Amino acid sequence: MAEATTQRVAIFSIQPRFASAILDGIKQVEFRKTRLRSSVSSIIVYSSAPVQRVVGAFSIKAIDYADPQELWRRYGVTGGITRKELLAYYGNTQIGAAILIGEVQRLPHPIELKDLDARLRPPQSFQYAHMTMLEALSADLPLVRMASQEHNRSTQLALAS
């Protein structure tokens, strides 16, 4: 049986000031408390209230896991956040994630989740994107298109085996 490795896409709920900083290339690291599956290659950026729209996407260059103090030491300069904000965000979290941002793509016109799929709700932190969302965004976001095409190839391989 052929083994298929599918690239996954996650959608992150990100505060508007941080979403803008990512799209503008200022914020080069996204900090998270939760581990992602290693198969996640791209992130769809959902700008939370008051924007409440999908605004773009970025590829993942790498993910570094360490305690919050160490993450600050390594990425504080490029994280687009103050030390105080970062440590307050992590609270009692022992190990955090620093997601190094690769290629960034901005949507020409931000999109409401309901326009992608009426069943979608804003993620509390993140969720994995499903095919309906990937297909709806693939025309405007090449990073998402690549993941959608990879998913289709993997599905075809699985069906053929």
Identity (one letter) of the amino acid at 27?
K
Domain assignment present for 22? yes
Q: Output the domain CATH number for residue 97.
A: 2.30.130.30
Instruction: Categorise residue 25: left if φ over 0, alpha if ψ from -120 to 50, beta otherwise.
Output: left
Comparing 1 with 36, the larger pLDDT belongs to: 36
Whole-angstrom Cα distance, residue 40 to residue 37?
6
Domain assignment present for 94? yes
Comparing 65 with 38, the larger pLDDT belongs to: 65
* pLDDT over threshold 70, residue 143: yes
Domain assignment present for 103? yes
In this predicted structure, which of 48-62, 63-77, 109-123, 133-147 has the lowest mean pLDDT? 133-147
Q: Using pLDDT thresholds of 50, 70 and 90, give the confidence band for residue 147.
A: low
User: What angle in degrees, to the nearest 10, is found between the helix axes of 83-90 and 68-75?
Assistant: 150
* pLDDT over threshold 60, residue 45: yes
* pLDDT over threshold 80, residue 4: no
* pLDDT over threshold 80, residue 92: yes
Domain assignment present for 154? no
The Cα-based distances of 55 to 45, 92, 104, 122 in angstroms read: 6, 31, 11, 13
Domain assignment present for 79? yes
Domain assignment present for 92? yes
Mean pLDDT of 66-93: 97
In angstroms and rounded to an integer, the radius of gyration of the C-alpha atoms of the chain is 16
Q: Using pLDDT thresholds of 50, 70 and 90, give the confidence band for residue 156.
A: very low
Based on the structure, what is the number of domains in the chain?
A: 1
* pLDDT over threshold 50, residue 146: yes
DSSP 37: P
DSSP 35: P
Please state the separation of Cα 127 from the chain's center in Å.
9
Mean pLDDT of 101-117: 93
Domain assignment present for 93? yes
Mean pLDDT of 112-119: 87
* pLDDT over threshold 60, residue 23: yes
Structural domain containing residue 41: 8-149
The Cα-based distances of 131 to 33, 74, 146, 148 in angstroms read: 26, 35, 12, 7
